[in-house]
Structure 1
Amino acid sequence: MMQLTEAEYRKRFDGYIITDCAVLKRGHYYFVSRNLAEAERAGPTAEAMVTKRLSWYIPDNPEDSRIRHMRFEGYQTLDICANPSEGRMLCVSIDGLVTVTGGDGEDEDEDEIPKSITGPRRGTIERLRTIDDCMVAVGSDHTVCLRKGSNQWQSLCLNLPVPTLADFDDVERSDNMAFVDIDGFSENDIYVIAGKGRVWHFDGTKWSRIAFPSDMDVYSICCAGDGYVYIGAQSGSLFRGRGNEWTLLVREMLTLPFEDIVWHAGKVWLTSDYGLWNVIDGQLVEADLPSSDIKVCAGNLSVADGVMLMAGTHGAAVHDGSAWQLIFHRMQFAR
């Protein structure tokens, strides 16, 4: 049984496709979506012409106020991430524009994340993550920065190589300096990934390049509760390791790479638009789902406060550690 009514779906999601999701805390779920018709007209080079929405769903609120949204016009790609230390959700554009909300109607546009060769932002912002209740952002030109409070960003670029003119003029070299994901076991044990097998580790003082055993393109990373780091690479390849010791668990078995990898309910979970998987005994297996209505919600994952939110092209669902609950399935509202 779905949680959203058809009227709620029509008002908040009809004509839009979810591109990101995040859990602020149990019962507080957030989604970024983009307008489908505008996206088709704009094409791949005019993303700023596509209207975005940040929607939040709080199922325990009264039905007339449990789901709301705010619009973003003139914005490029948007990412969202929970910042537990502030109890609010951050929405950050690829060019460093920041909006903060708590789902209470008190939304605030902050200053752009400062850009300079020493950081906190050297280039674009590509990914947000929460590590030890702190929010970090990564992006191009070896950008790594830590949020310290409202309009306060600390550079973690430190000893990471500064891009040169030759780097800017070479697409592959530029891609190898563009961090696409980050995760950590603590603030002093962080991993970031970029390009063709570029993996770096932060020990609380400095960054060190990891001897990663592949030049595959890498896309997603998870520092899991089993003590291992999992890295999703091209075509659904999956590596597991830590430090300079790595094992290839899965080699190129899918068309798409994994969009998100998370640790939840004692398992590693991996997703793309094509489905949801677990790692069990070193093997990648399809997740045991109660229905196809849940499976079609694959695409993005977010974990916080003991729950995992999954959302994608066709809908959204939440796992409370033992069971799934469907939030909505857009095909059931098809006209």
Structure 2
Amino acid sequence: MSTASDHQTSFISIVGTHTRDLQMLVNLSPLVDDPDSILTVIVSLVHETPVTWTKLREIDAWVTDLARSSTGKLYAVDMDGQLHFTEPAGMWATRDLGCPDGLVSLWVESDDLLFVAGDHGERVRVSGNQVDVAQDDQERRLNAVHGCSADDVYMVGEAGTLFRYHGQKWSELESPTNYTLLSVLCRSSHEVYIAGARGMLFRGHGNSWEQLKAPAVTITSLAWYRDALYAAAGKDGIFRLESHGLEKIKDVTLYRLRVIGDHLFGLGGRFVARFDGKGWWGGPVNSL
């Protein structure tokens, strides 16, 4: 992997089953603003002492999200509108999803069904060999997607954009906010969390939402860990939902959360941390 001093390394997404079976998405971007020059690497990571990694694939594109199915198959999407995935033999393949404006986030329901959110409001459903793309006339960026089941999926985005796939079709829901939404987490068909800019945090489903008390921070990621909701807010730290609202539990810069095995993992810049319910362990992975 390149470690050129003229590139910035950012850990974007992490998946896996336990501390010795992790896969991580890493962007290498130029110090000047040039999205076309971003290079991506997917690595296998062991998050124990010593922390070690092995490169699995290098992609000459800006890859935005990584997911893993229950069978261990890996999926990734990029800003060229491509889906990258592992074949049964472990080889990688690429598929054009017909979204040249870029893909931002994906949720994998099974090896035969996944949903992808697009940079210009595309709502993509991939079922086997069939790709269905629903366009947004206003081309509003969609930032996150998550599902309760194959027939109950939410996407959120800029200016409070909120879509739901329900009953074999997409519909736009009445959003509880005009602020940009950055994360969605489905616990069940009647318990969905959405969050984003200025501490916007809501619990509900469909067109019924309750605002939860939170400080005016930008919530970038949500995760449900050990019967509690956790939120990442970048430089503002990690929060947990208590009876009175979101409460900061750790002053650390993390942007993405993921529950893997018995741990809650967090990513931010070159930083990888994990929480076991009692304490945090981890730090910068400078060898990447």
- With the length of structure 1 as denominator, give the TM-score of the two structures: 0.71
Determine the C-alpha separation between the residues in 1 that align with 2:171 and 2:69: 27
Q: 1:105 to 1:314 in 2, by over 3 A?
A: farther
Determine the C-alpha separation between the residues in 2 that align with 1:282 and 1:128: 32
For residue 96 of structure 1, what is the aligned residue in structure 2?
81
For residue 144 of structure 1, what is the aligned residue in structure 2?
123
Structure number with higher strand proportion: 2
Question: 1:106-145 counterparts in 2 under 5 A?
Answer: 106-113=90-97, 115=98, 121=99, 123-131=101-109, 134-145=113-124
Question: 1:48-127 counterparts in 2 under 5 A?
Answer: 48-58=36-46, 67-70=53-56, 72=58, 74-85=60-71, 87-101=72-86, 106-113=90-97, 115=98, 121=99, 123-127=101-105
Determine the C-alpha separation between the residues in 2 that align with 1:49 and 1:304: 31
1:174 partnered with 2:139: yes
> Is the 8 Å Cα contact of residues 119 and 142 (structure 2) preserved in structure 1?
yes
> Is the 8 Å Cα contact of residues 264 and 303 (structure 1) preserved in structure 2?
yes
Q: 1:51 to 1:194 in 2, by over 3 A?
A: closer
- Quote how far apart the aligned CAs of 1:111 are: 2.7
Match of 1:259 among 194, 204, 220: 220
Determine the C-alpha separation between the residues in 1 that align with 2:175 and 2:120: 20
SS of 2:81's partner is: coil
Determine the C-alpha separation between the residues in 2 that align with 1:211 and 1:218: 13
2:275 maps to a residue whose letter is H
Match of 1:317 among 242, 263, 273: 273
2:123 maps to a residue whose letter is V
For residue 10 of structure 2, what is the aligned residue in structure 1?
18
Determine the C-alpha separation between the residues in 2 that align with 1:302 and 1:105: 26
Determine the C-alpha separation between the residues in 1 that align with 2:42 and 2:25: 5
Q: 1:131 to 1:30 in 2, by over 3 A?
A: same
Determine the C-alpha separation between the residues in 1 that align with 2:262 and 2:15: 10
Determine the C-alpha separation between the residues in 2 that align with 1:234 and 1:145: 25
**Long gaps (5+) in structure 2:** none
Determine the C-alpha separation between the residues in 2 that align with 1:24 and 1:330: 18
**Long gaps (5+) in structure 1:** 1-9, 116-120, 168-172, 290-294
Query: Which protein shows a greater Rg?
Result: 1
SS of 2:139's partner is: helix
2:267 maps to a residue whose letter is A
> Is the 8 Å Cα contact of residues 81 and 135 (structure 1) preserved in structure 2?
no
Determine the C-alpha separation between the residues in 2 that align with 1:192 and 1:91: 17
> Is the 8 Å Cα contact of residues 225 and 263 (structure 1) preserved in structure 2?
no
Report the aligned-residue RMSD. Answer: 3.5
- Quote how far apart the aligned CAs of 1:204 are: 2.9
Aligned-residue sequence identity (percent) comes to 16
Q: 1:49 to 1:207 in 2, by over 3 A?
A: closer
Q: 1:236 to 1:248 in 2, by over 3 A?
A: same
Determine the C-alpha separation between the residues in 1 that align with 2:3 and 2:74: 18
> Is the 8 Å Cα contact of residues 148 and 189 (structure 2) preserved in structure 1?
no
For residue 7 of structure 1, what is the aligned residue in structure 2?
none
2:272 maps to a residue whose letter is A
Q: 1:12 to 1:270 in 2, by over 3 A?
A: farther
Determine the C-alpha separation between the residues in 1 that align with 2:224 and 2:162: 20
> Is the 8 Å Cα contact of residues 45 and 53 (structure 2) preserved in structure 1?
yes
CA displacement 1:35-72 (0-9 Å, x = unmatched) = 3xx521xx22x222233322221458x979x5212463
Determine the C-alpha separation between the residues in 1 that align with 2:65 and 2:182: 15
Structure number with higher helix proportion: 1
Determine the C-alpha separation between the residues in 2 that align with 1:54 and 1:191: 26
- Quote how far apart the aligned CAs of 1:212 are: 1.9
1:183 partnered with 2:146: yes
1:302 partnered with 2:258: yes
Match of 1:281 among 243, 249, 260: 243
1:214 partnered with 2:177: yes
Q: Number of aligned pairs?
A: 283
2:168 maps to a residue whose letter is T
Determine the C-alpha separation between the residues in 2 that align with 1:13 and 1:145: 35
2:139 maps to a residue whose letter is S
- Quote how far apart the aligned CAs of 1:12 are: 8.2
> Is the 8 Å Cα contact of residues 214 and 246 (structure 2) preserved in structure 1?
no
2:245 maps to a residue whose letter is Q
